[in-house]
Chains A and B, each alone.
Chain A
Amino acid sequence: MNLSGDFTFKGPRATVFEILQDPDVLAKALPGTKTLRTTGADQYEDVMKVSVGPMMAAEFVVKVEVKDKMTPERFSMHIDGKGALGFTKGTARIELREQPGPITLMNYTADIQIGGKIAAVGQRLLESVGKMMTRQALDSLDKELQTRLRTS
């Protein structure tokens, strides 16, 4: 599955980048996350519950490793998720560009392989679920950004 798109954060790039590396923020922002803990430098483990179409909420343990970090311009994430209904494996690349405002334009591309029941039964809904979850995450990250900008 390929997911790609753009998103505009209403704030400076440095703060956006900071938020994107903050496990506490990510834990709140990523839909379905039960726990998210740091397992090493730039390594996280996210336990999340995801529903796809006819499949009931299923728990996935997703290991994320941040790589190729160029603060505050870009980073990539290696994703390795496992759960009762299947697996997900892949890479996401994120680029941030600051523009006057200041606002930050995010461009993301993810190439994710999905297997098991979730692929076999949920296939036709996966892309829309993926897009929806991405959108929800980005919206709540932007909210967090606004809060930070107000309080700082």
Chain B
Amino acid sequence: MPPEAPYLSSRVLRNEDARLLTGRALFVDDVQLPRMLHVAFVRSEYAHGRLVSVDTAAARRRPGVVAVYTADDLGEYLKPGPVLVNPPPIQGHVFHGCTQLPLVKDKVRHVGEPIAMIVAESRYIAEDAIRDVVIEIDPLGVVVDLEKGLAPNAPLIHEHLTSNVAAHVIQKKGDYPEARRRADLIVKRRFHYDRGASGAIENRAVAVEWDAKSEEMTIWDTTQAPIPIRNGLARMLGLLESQVNVIAPFVGGGFGPKIMMFYPEELLLPWAAMQLNRSLKWTEDRQENFFATTQERGQIHDAEMALTKDGRILGVHDVFLFDTGAYDPYGLTIPINSQCTLLGPYDIPSYESEFTAVFTNKTIVTPVRGAGRQHGVFVSERLLDLAAKELGIDRVEIRKRNLLRPDQFPHNHEIMFQDSAPLVYDSGDYLPTLEQAAKLIGYDQFIREEQPRLRAEGKHVGIGVACYVEGTGIGPYEGARVTVEPSGTVRCATGVGTQGQGHFTVFAQLVADALGVSVEDVKVVTGDTREFHWGTGTFASRGAVVAGSACHAAAMAVREKVLDLASRVLNAPKEALELAHGRVSVGGSTDSGIGLGELAGKANPLRGAVRPGTEPGLESTAYFGPDRGSTASGVHAIIVEVDPETATVAVKRYLVVHDCGVIINPLLVEGQIHGGVAHGIGNAFYEQLVYDDQGQLLNASFMDYLLPTATDVPAIETAHRETASPFNPMGLKGVGEAGCIPTGAVFAQAVEDALDGSGVEITEIPLSPNRLFELIDAASRK
């Protein structure tokens, strides 16, 4: 840490907003290249079937069409994509990695799989040519329902396997059968939890320039992982990594599906650009996005919790199914997140969790914000609510009795997390967080006075309080290079891509504090392999923690160089030097000293001699890799009013008390929470991908797939707590997914509370006015 850090934990306004708000930020679709051609894809309309023939003759003849490619045209380039995340080494696990070919060869496995690629002078012509392609598909039986997909006579999606099981994992700790024997109460239910599309404003896009003379390729890509994309494509195209540059410029929302790597379009455009020696661009339209961009979908949990009569959890047993879609390139990340996050902030002595991942004829599932964590949290939080009711214990009180205490950290849950490390919580202080949330929402007073008063007026109001943890900031590593330029401006280049998080501000704050410069004078570069080419990407709420720690380390190394050189130039001992306002001075005197820019000039002389071993310039590169992720936590509280006639739900208050360790910028933390809650509200009450029994997605437009609008998202109150993580020098934890993890659970709890006495029990998310109406109606008939 620098001696003073004026920017750390302060509400610095976003450095990038001026560019974004005035339309000067580059997005992939803004890229215009000389002689650029446009690409469109012909996609399967069937969810499952044999590809009998593809006739592209008419499309090729259409004026303006330059090329049409099918699987047969790809030669050796036609290979299934890589399995991106290998399963953690859990004993006895089964995993069948099945990945997609860039273009369908023999068999389509979901609606929207690309069958042919059309390259034309304009997107209009390319789209018209889609209609010229004649495709014969011999339909096969379709797997949509998870349980039917496991039946012995179910159609086989991957015929080299003997069933549609993609994976099977059992994780255990303690002795659950013994816990069950000792329990005073067992609560057991079946839970359904469905997630949806990510709904990023910007769809995916790829633009490619191949310069045959310099043998250099530049790819603009909406990816969350530009460096691995560069490395992978170079290998597949037979180029050196240094011949390929990948730029992920400003990206209008990532939320997970853009960390899915080597999508067919991402593989095909660079290949075709080399074939044709032309620049190419493809921008996904919203319709395609619903089929061709990964989603997150349903899980079915059969779960039970064993408790003592005073509400202490003795153990949890859970068996669940997970819909992985037609392929499983992302391994087991989502179901393992569900499995691990179910344990939440609670002291659960015994746990048995078993899941089966099932192939279905639907779009591929990879993490979407929350990445399965909300599924697990929903199960444990709902079981606690049900137990509280059975035992006559208050809902907040039963949670208090089960929270991990500060003296239990680091806490080893004795099962394996998604990063292949044991699930160990580094630090946390859960009870004060819950108490603060209950106090701020006015829990006791609401239960005691307001709710009875409003009920007497005929209003159906309810309150919910739910806890969660968020595994964040996992490895392996990120890096950064910090350079003081002779102008005095500081550049900070890092490998992660940016999708709106505020990297240009948080990284700048960390560097500005280390070097004593103004935050506006730190120019951050993200997601450009020409600038920095070591790293993995933006995912798992790790940008600030891992890349931020690397920026800090690089800036602190530059600080040392600054002090060493200034000590010689100013002829003063290092300890007497101060860095502030872009200058190094002796004892903080304002009329002496030297500006950082001038010092940078002296560090890179044009003539004369330097000391042996001297590195030129004021520049350093550093890397940071944590042993394991740091665990953030929090509590959401909500007050709702339900109209039982129309089954609409009005959110009256929404409160998040959050602990993401040391906060770099509260403004950005709140922004992450607000955005996350909006996603969570959408997940709880609006968004659902509806497939028919033939695997056709029935609501593939924003007319029918409802995203919450500004009027549906309540004003969100926030409070921060800071329990520093011991896993990185600044004590950071991630916050990217906190807003959406317990939202479904807290929403269900409050709606159920509002309808108390009606017999409605909520064991599923998403709800909708329609679905809630059905539940109210069914309960009234009992």
Contact = CB atoms under 8 A, between A and B. Distances in A.
A120 B699 CA distance: 5
B45 A86 contact: yes
Contact of B697 (A113, A114, A120): A120
Contacts of B287: 117, 120-121
A25 interface: no
Interface string A69-97: 00000000000000010110100000000
A124 interface: yes
Interface in B124-178: 130-131, 139
A97 to B, nearest CB: 32
A120 B703 contact: no
Contacts of A115: 45-47, 111, 694, 696
Given A84-B131, A87-B45, A54 B703 contact: yes
Nearest to B135: A82
A107 interface: no
A116 interface: yes
B701 interface: yes
Nearest to A116: B45
A27 interface: no
Contacts of A119: 692, 696-698
A114 B692 CA distance: 10
B704 interface: yes
Contacts of A113: 694
Interface string B678-704: 000000000000001010111111011
A8 interface: no
B654 interface: no
Contacts of A116: 45, 111
Contacts of B45: 86-87, 115-116
Nearest to B705: A120
A43 interface: no
A135 to B, nearest CB: 24
A123 interface: yes
Contacts of B696: 114-115, 119-120
B700 A120 contact: yes
Interface in B696-744: 696-701, 703-704
A91 to B, nearest CB: 14
Contacts of B378: none
Interface string B554-580: 000000000000000000000000000
Contact of B704 (A84, A117, A124): A124
Nearest to A126: B698
Contacts of A123: 698-699, 704
Contacts of B704: 121, 123-124
Interface string A97-127: 0000000000000000111110111011000
B131 to A, nearest CB: 4
Nearest to A53: B703
Scoring A54, A86, A123 by chain B CB atoms within 10 A of each residue's CB, the highest score goes to A123
Interface residues of B, number: 20
Interface in B285-317: 287, 290-291
Contacts of B700: 120-121
Contacts of B698: 119-120, 123
A119 B699 CA distance: 8
B701 A121 contact: yes
Nearest to B45: A116
A121 B111 CA distance: 14
A38 to B, nearest CB: 22
A124 B701 CA distance: 11
A14 to B, nearest CB: 38
Nearest to A121: B701
B270 to A, nearest CB: 28
Contacts of A120: 111, 287, 290-291, 696-701
A124 B700 CA distance: 11
A113 B144 CA distance: 15
Nearest to B290: A120
B263 to A, nearest CB: 20
Interface string B264-294: 0000000000000000000000010011000
Contacts of B699: 120, 123
A109 B287 CA distance: 32
Interface in B82-113: 111
B124 to A, nearest CB: 14
A8 B322 CA distance: 50
Nearest to B46: A115
Contacts of A89: 139
B546 to A, nearest CB: 39
Contacts of B130: 84
Nearest to B696: A119
A89 B46 CA distance: 11
A115 B137 CA distance: 12
A23 B45 CA distance: 30
Nearest to B43: A116
Nearest to A113: B694
A87 B139 CA distance: 12
Contacts of A87: 45-46
B293 to A, nearest CB: 14
B412 to A, nearest CB: 47
A117 B701 CA distance: 10
A117 B704 CA distance: 13
B706 to A, nearest CB: 12
B115 to A, nearest CB: 13
Contacts of B694: 113, 115
Contacts of A114: 696
A61 B770 CA distance: 37
A120 B287 CA distance: 8
A100 B291 CA distance: 54
Interface in B397-428: none
Interface in A30-54: 54
Nearest to B137: A87
Contacts of A124: 704
A114 B130 CA distance: 19
A64 to B, nearest CB: 18
A84 B139 CA distance: 18
Nearest to A114: B696
Contacts of A117: 287
Nearest to B112: A120
Contacts of B697: 119-120
A19 to B, nearest CB: 33
16 contacts: A84-B131, A86-B45, A113-B694, A115-B47, A116-B45, A119-B696, A120-B111, A120-B291, A120-B697, A120-B698, A120-B700, A121-B287, A121-B703, A121-B704, A123-B699, A123-B704
Interface of B: 45-47, 111, 130-131, 139, 287, 290-291, 692, 694, 696-701, 703-704
Given A115-B694, A120-B287, 17 more contacts: A89-B139, A113-B694, A115-B45, A115-B47, A115-B111, A116-B111, A120-B111, A120-B290, A120-B291, A120-B698, A120-B699, A120-B701, A121-B287, A121-B701, A123-B698, A123-B699, A124-B704
What 6 pairs between A and B have smallest CB-CB spacing? A120-B700, A116-B45, A123-B698, A84-B131, A119-B696, A115-B45
